[in-house]
Amino acid sequence: MVYRVTFVCTGNICRSPMAEHIVRRRFADAGLDAEVDSSGTGGWHEGDPADSRTVAVLRRAGYTSAHRARQFLPAWFDRYDLVVALDRGHHRALRAMAATERDRAKVRLLREFDPDADSLDVPDPYYGGNAGFDLVRAQIEAAVPGLIAEIRAHRASDPLPG
């Protein structure tokens, strides 16, 4: 059974597409049967490619980078097993969109899966320099092992809501 995960940030051009590409590859490397994509809480970048700095960081690290931004829609909760917010603002916005407790339970913060995280937020690198994009990549990569372990644990017993 395919497990479906989406990553959500603000405009879907920096953090969430980076998470999408990193996690998609890491899931494939781990042998997880999963579909991974991303979206934003806002729609002002719909149809745009990922920020050029996101693309550069992904390519330098050996990941794919093809992307078109889109906005998360409340009806999509039925489509996903897990909706991963990149910061607490996205988490609040997604939980507010959720019509049911079942849907709210699908919303998690990415850094919850990193036991060494010093904050639950992945900072928005958009208004900063290239170093912010490298930090985002490192934070996403640090959360991947915990995310994989969580999915495997839930698949072995009870699946996550969905």
Positions marked catalytic? 9, 15, 124
119 closest CA partner among 93, 82, 86? 86
DSSP string, 54-119: HHHHHHHTT--------B--GGGGGG-SEEEESSHHHHHHHHHH-SSHHHHHTEEEGGGG-TT-S-
**How far is 2 from 70, CA to CA, in rounded Å?**
22
**CA 119 to CA 75: how far, in whole Å?**
30
